């Protein structure tokens, strides 16, 4: 099934300058990700995985190359448009949960809705529904320090999806979790993917990567392996037609 293209990157490079030194972190990444895909990004530490995710999430920009997100050329978008895309189209999940410690679970989940201008009552009811869907009934008014790691990550996922994003970017979301909590979190990602949300997830663990249908292996700033036969098929067909 040929899906719609969500992410297209072409010859993506990223060079960090540190004084006199240049660090060439991404060295020409070309790939596309269709709507509805579940992609695992793997590879050794320092290979450029997080750098790639940050660019895809519009949190950072490439030094060179093209990036088209949802049919829009990201380099042509202004700061407000980028903020809007980040807030409404993309949900981020990080290894360290990144919840605000003084806010309750439900208040954390409400944050993206505040930025989106959703009225207070609707905010609360949507945030509560998200938490319940994540199996967090009874934990709504806990602050993060009173929640387990797995519970905190599920609050973070609720926050990531409360705006109904089309894309979830998760950078080692199970990296700080025990294996039972990790599996719970992966089952949630799988469910979200079944609902049609595109997921790109960085992991070092092959049993976590098994949940994805496609694997990208990064090494030294390049993709050295891509099992994305499904995604490449339309390109090949297009090429021979
Ligand atoms: N802001 C920065 N300035 C300079 N160098 C950076 C910056 N961010 C990342 N790097 C360098 O870029 C390289 C790739 O980093 P990146 O975080 O993308 O790797 P990674 O594949 O996510 O690794 P890990 O598996 O350890 O998370 C590393 O050598 C890192 O030191
Ligand atoms: Mg990383």
DSSP per-residue codes, 85-128:
HHHHTEEEEETT----TTS-HHHHHHHHHHHTT--HHHHHHHHH
74-133: pLDDT as tens digits: 989 998 999 888 888 999 999 999 999 999 999 999 999 998 899 999 999 999 999 999
User: How many whole angstroms from 8 Cα to the centroid of ligand 1?
Assistant: 22
The predicted model scores a pTM of 0.91
Nearest atom in ligand 1 to the alpha carbon of residue 54 is: 18
- Vertex 168, ends 167 and 171: CA angle to 5°? 140
Torsion 78-79-82-83 (CA) sign: negative
User: How many whole angstroms from 167 Cα to the centroid of ligand 1?
Assistant: 22
Question: pLDDT band at 237, cuts 50/70/90?
Answer: very low
Nearest atom in ligand 1 to the alpha carbon of residue 52 is: 18
128 part of a folded domain: yes
15 part of a folded domain: no
User: How many whole angstroms from 127 Cα to the centroid of ligand 1?
Assistant: 33
Residue 139 domain boundaries: 98-163
Domain total in the chain: 1
117-166: pLDDT as tens digits: 999 999 999 999 999 999 999 999 999 999 999 999 999 999 999 999 99
Mean pLDDT for the chain overall: 92
Has residue 3 got a pLDDT over 80?
Answer: no
130 part of a folded domain: yes
231 part of a folded domain: no
Q: Is the CB of 36 under 6 A from ligand 1?
A: no
């Amino acid at each position: 099934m040929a899906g719609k293209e969500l992410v297209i990157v072409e010859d993506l490079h990223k060079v960090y300058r540190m004084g006199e030194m240049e660090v060439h972190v991404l060295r020409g990444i070309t790939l596309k990700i269709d709507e509805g895909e579940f992609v695992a990004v793997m590879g050794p530490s320092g290979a450029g995985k997080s750098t790639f995710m940050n660019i895809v999430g519009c949190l950072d920009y490439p030094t060179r190359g093209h990036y088209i997100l949802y049919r829009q050329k990201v380099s042509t978008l202004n700061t407000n448009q980028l903020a809007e895309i980040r807030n409404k189209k993309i949900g981020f999940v990080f290894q360290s949960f990144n919840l605000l410690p003084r806010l309750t679970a439900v208040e954390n989940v409400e944050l993206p809705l505040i930025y989106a201008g959703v009225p207070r009552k609707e905010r609360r009811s949507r945030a509560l529904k998200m938490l319940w869907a994540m199996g967090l009934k009874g934990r709504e008014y806990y602050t993060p320090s009173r929640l387990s790691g797995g519970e905190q990550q599920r609050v973070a996922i609720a926050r990531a999806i409360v705006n109904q994003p089309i894309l979830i970017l998760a950078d080692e979301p199970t990296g700080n979790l025990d294996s039972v909590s990790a599996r719970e979190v992966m089952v949630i990602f799988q469910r979200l993917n079944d609902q049609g949300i595109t997921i790109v997830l960085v992991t070092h663990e092959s049993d976590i990567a098994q949940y994805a249908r496609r694997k990208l292996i990064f090494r030294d700033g390049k993709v050295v392996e891509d099992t994305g036969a499904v995604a490449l098929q339309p390109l090949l067909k297009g090429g021979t037609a």
